[in-house]
Amino acid sequence: MLARPLSPLGLLADIESGRTSAAAILRACGDTIAEAEPIVGAFEHLDFDGAIARSHDAAGPLRGLAVGVKDVFDTADMPTSYGTQIYAGHHPVSDAAVVSMVRRAGGVVLGKTVTTELAFFEPGRTRNPANPGHTPGGSSSGSAAAVAAGMVPFAIGSQTGGSVIRPAAYCGVAGYKPSFRILPTVGLKAFAWSLDTVGLFAPTVADVAFFAAAITGRSLEVTAKETAAPRIAVVRTHLWHEATGEMRAAIDTVERLATAAGASVVSVDLPGIFSEAFAAHQVIQDHQAAMALAYEMDNHRDLLSPLLRDTLDYGRSISVEDYDTARRTVRHARLALRDALGDADVIVTPSATGAAPEGLASTGSSIFNRLWTLMGVPAVNVPGLHAASGLPLGIQVVGHHGRDGKTLAVANWLEGVLKAKS
């Protein structure tokens, strides 16, 4: 792996004790970027001088630590191109709401991270720090890779299908997709407004929970939470046949280790409404995308990738009747999820089909993420397992809607179980 992830909580303790300063940490981040960025390609834009200047006045729980911001979020002091030539050189006049939240919490925006084209499938130039010959995932590829390579302690991304959890899994870091609407999407370039969810990256679950608590003011930290063994429902979903042998074995390992650590673990088969909801995701996403990106299609069609053009054409062909039917299916599935989970605290399921695929032409598959995005429930990628190749394998912890603190706490517990075994 190129470089190593930082320890944000350790860095904050060092700042608090006076052993270092935010400016010194930023300079160290700059050294790492100088070494790794030519290979990883995580950043679209960097502002070292501005970041160091802002770090001297930073107040709040983040204490001037660096944050990478996915280049689909508006920033008033940096260009925002949304991953497309259409917006090359575009300078928004204001920050996205979540960027302002980061600044108010004392975070310093070091740069804009690479995204796929308009947060869809066309890959950017980012490579996986664990192995540059493999994809880092999409569409929050730059954010996940920047954290994994130790370029920044924290980063912001977004997820419409699997664009936080999957790149976190491929790059071997913690990714947190909150319950829908906990983090504002104001100032985010929309793709599908009822699915787009702001997400966060950090090296470990404890780090990402702290980051979330710092910017939201919610009690999401996990270090002081109850660590009693949880109730876990292992859900393989109707797509289990798409998981690689190593991913199937990883879930079996988690089931065994969690049971040995005292957790109550049951295997749950979801009823058919959830396979119907999975199919509804594409209908809703593509229909909304055709409206959200109407300007780009009508005025800059030739600058869009063929895949995105085809997707938007398809989305425009979806009837409002089919769209509304898909929405009703989702409502029924959300109600059914509570019954399906029973008294389980969380679901454990794959973060991806397996380790990051070789090659950079594709960002991998989001099939193990779309349903949970659609349900609007919190999801966390738990790092710690690896394939035989050495590439990370991610485990996804999914919680009840609005119970993000519990979900993060269980994910942190599970990360500890995996670390104790390794």
Domain boundaries, the chain: 8-216
For 8-216, CATH gives 3.90.1300.10
Token pair 């006076």: residue: 18
Q: Is 177 a catalytic residue?
A: no
Phi, psi (degrees; rounded to nearest 5) at 159: -140, 125
CA 199 to chain centre: 5
> Exposed (0-12), middle (13-18) or buried (19+): which is 275, by Cβ within 10 Å?
middle
List the alpha helices (DSSP H) in 269-365.
Answer: 273-292, 294-300, 306-317, 320-341
Q: Is 163 a catalytic residue?
A: yes
Q: Which of 55, 81, 112, 139 is catalytic?
A: 139
The answer to whether the predicted template modeling score (pTM) of the entire model surpasses 0.75 is yes
One digit per residue, the tens of pLDDT, for the chain of length 422 reads 677 899 999 999 999 999 999 999 999 999 999 999 999 999 999 999 999 999 998 999 999 999 999 999 999 999 999 999 999 999 999 999 999 999 999 999 999 999 999 999 999 999 999 999 999 999 999 999 999 999 999 999 999 999 999 999 999 999 999 999 999 999 999 999 999 999 999 999 999 999 999 999 999 999 755 668 899 999 999 999 999 999 999 999 999 999 999 999 999 999 999 999 999 999 999 999 999 999 999 999 999 999 999 999 999 999 999 999 999 999 999 999 989 988 999 999 999 999 999 999 999 999 999 999 999 999 999 999 999 999 999 999 999 999 999 999 999 999 999 999 76
Q: Is 139 a catalytic residue?
A: yes
Q: Which of 163, 179, 365, 366 is catalytic?
A: 163
Nearest to 98 by CA among 195, 191, 214, 220: 214
Q: Which of 55, 70, 81, 112 is catalytic?
A: 70
CB-based contacts of 381: which residues, under 8 Å, 6+ apart?
A: 164, 165, 168, 169, 173, 174, 175, 176, 351, 394, 395, 396
